[in-house]
Structure 1
Amino acid sequence: MNLHQFRFVQEASRRNLNLTEAARVLHTSQPGVSKAIIDLEQELGIDIFTRHGKRLKSITEPGRHVLESIAVILREVNNLKRIGEEYTAQDTGTFSIASTHTQARYVLPQPVARLRQAWPKVSIRLHQGNPQQVAQMVLDEQAEIGVATESLADYPDLVTLPCYEWQHMLALPEGHPLARQKRITLEDIAAWPLITYHPSFTGRALIDQAFAQRELQPRIVLEAIDSDVITTYVQLGLGIGIVAEMATQGSAPENMRGLLTRPLGHLLGSNVARVAFKRGAYLRQFVYHFAELLSDRLDRDLVAKAMQGHVADYEL
């Protein structure tokens, strides 16, 4: 048995048992993937997959155990590579970060810039996706760290730590009737066309929950994954907007020109952005440094203890 066989089996599982797709990702041929899997099954004396003709149909019971062991083996192989990279070229390497658009656009620029100053020979790859995709990129080791608000804590194979707390803001055109009110309620917001996030992004679940608890149905006229898109349409007069606090900060950002904001934490509750690492992964020095740059509540010792299983979580 060899690592190529392990990778082929793992990728076949990840690609919903589609060997053609697994072969494409692995830059090899479909017959080659199929033969490698069959050779491993024969060597182990078990079927990892059930088949219908030449197609893989499902993962067998022993196959699930094989996949668990393969995941551990390949994780430790990657750890060995990182250890080698760390000690042969301690100040170089490639650092991959997975995050949602909001985190990449409004939160990560300063920490990334400061990391580049401290580690100028380190190349940074920034991957963006929805929270589920961020989690999967960390699990698949396409990224060493993930940053998002939703979903990260739902994966047992991820070590997650709260990073910082934030609230939603109401974005209003200057001169809007709500801008003159000292106290804005959910009922007030529900009376106007509303522009906000897609249901899987940037704390949208808290927004929906707050309205549902008051038995209100907001008139959502546009959903987006990008805060700049939301505020652009508010500027055009399509409605009022609910956006992440991070998108409204700074000195007169272009996306906020002509708009006023009101905090909504007392109506919608607070959100917690989290960082995630793959459980059992070896973290290089610049990964620890980046975690510290993300939040003054994170430090190397805390992250290291969490990775060793000594700290399951901590409160902001």
Structure 2
Amino acid sequence: MDIHELQCFLILAETLNFSRAAGISNITPSALSRIIKRLEESLGTELFVRSKRSVRITESGRRFIDVAHGIVQQVEEVRAEFGRIGTELHGDLKIFATVTACHALLPKLLGPFREQNPGVEVIVHTGDAAMGIDAVLQGQADVSIVLQPETPVKRVRFHPLSHTPLGFIAPRLEEKLPPGIQELLGLHSNAWDYREFPWDSIPMILPEKGLVREIIDRYFSQRGIQPRIVSQVSGNEAIVALVNLGLGIGLVPSMVVQNSPLAHSIRFLPALTEIPPLPISMAVLETRQKHPVVRAFLDQVTQPPGQQ
């Protein structure tokens, strides 16, 4: 077995989907199947149970995850050490971030690090915030900038960066306001009693998954509210765009609007005070934190301002 085979095994163990794992590994599903078969023959045990509709990891496979992680981590650390020239770091740093995080957070995070580590190539992938933790778990990113989930995630550590309030947004132009919103704005310009909000008649645009969706779904469920959801989209930036078109009101972190090119066209509705600001953190695999490049980045970011 080699490192590539172990990495393929770990990705399949996380996704439990041959097609998806093969795509992440940049190989064909049949090639991945052959790799897993070789591993099973080498170890003398079955790692996965396959059927036409599903893939299930065996108990032996679960036990092998930690072993494979340890081997891959040790080899990557040795490679990184051999890649040093004097005291200079060399290698890649893969970061997953939303478009908003690229505008609002990455300049401050990457500026000092790149200046002090010119031998490190920074690779940034963008996407929906809800994909950030999966990107780390599947090895697609060393670091993901995410809204920190409310419950711990196995094998992932979170390093706090900031907070952002969560708020409802609507178009600034009155002619784009959904029916009913204009009247409410005229009656209650600074504070609303959301218990009396006409949820069943106001069109809403929500994220299809992720922390924001979990929070608002719980809010509705606890109060017996049946909202009128007209669109469920991937990415907070898409919500801002659809709200600007006048298709409904949306729910997004305020940082998204503040860093949007449409910020001048959007208004925040009175705050939903029951929901506290959301923590923004860097998500990193526990084992990946020891890698010299990742460690250097985390140390740089978490230093007090006066010491950077």
Report the TM-score, using the length of structure 1 for normalisation.
0.72
Gaps of 5+ in 1: 301-316
- Counterpart AA for 2:228: R
Counterpart position of 1:112: 110
Cα 1:197–1:290, aligned 2, differ >3 Å: closer, same or farther?
farther
Counterpart position of 2:263: 256
1:73, distance to aligned residue in structure 2 (A): 1.0
Counterpart position of 2:147: 149
**Secondary structure, in 3 states, of the residue corresponding to 1:82?**
helix
Distance (Å, rounded) in 1 between the aligned partners of 2:92 and 2:217: 39
Counterpart position of 1:79: 77
**Secondary structure, in 3 states, of the residue corresponding to 2:273?**
helix
**Secondary structure, in 3 states, of the residue corresponding to 1:243?**
strand
Counterpart position of 2:278: 271
1:287 aligns with 2:294: no
**Secondary structure, in 3 states, of the residue corresponding to 1:246?**
helix
Distance (Å, rounded) in 1 between the aligned partners of 2:56 and 2:223: 45
**Secondary structure, in 3 states, of the residue corresponding to 1:62?**
helix
Counterpart position of 1:159: 157
Cα 1:275–1:202, aligned 2, differ >3 Å: closer, same or farther?
same
1:16 aligns with 2:13: no
Gaps of 5+ in 2: 175-181
Distance (Å, rounded) in 1 between the aligned partners of 2:11 and 2:221: 41
Bigger Cα displacement from structure 2, 212-221 vs 146-155: 146-155
RMSD: 4.0
Cα 1:204–1:263, aligned 2, differ >3 Å: closer, same or farther?
farther
- Tell me if structure 2 keeps the 8 A contact 1:107–1:246: no
Distance (Å, rounded) in 1 between the aligned partners of 2:12 and 2:242: 43
Residue 177 of structure 1, aligned match among 155, 180, 183: 183
Cα 1:3–1:152, aligned 2, differ >3 Å: closer, same or farther?
farther
- Tell me if structure 2 keeps the 8 A contact 1:149–1:271: yes
**Identical aligned pairs, as a percentage?**
21
- Tell me if structure 1 keeps the 8 A contact 2:96–2:125: yes
Counterpart position of 1:200: 209
- Tell me if structure 2 keeps the 8 A contact 1:49–1:63: yes
Distance (Å, rounded) in 2 between the aligned partners of 1:45 and 1:227: 47
Counterpart position of 1:312: none
Report the TM-score, using the length of structure 2 for normalisation.
0.74
Cα 1:81–1:123, aligned 2, differ >3 Å: closer, same or farther?
same
Cα 1:65–1:199, aligned 2, differ >3 Å: closer, same or farther?
same
1:30, distance to aligned residue in structure 2 (A): 3.8
**Secondary structure, in 3 states, of the residue corresponding to 1:268?**
coil
**Secondary structure, in 3 states, of the residue corresponding to 1:266?**
coil
Distance (Å, rounded) in 1 between the aligned partners of 2:20 and 2:280: 37
- Counterpart AA for 1:16: L
Cα 1:83–1:179, aligned 2, differ >3 Å: closer, same or farther?
farther
Counterpart position of 1:214: 223
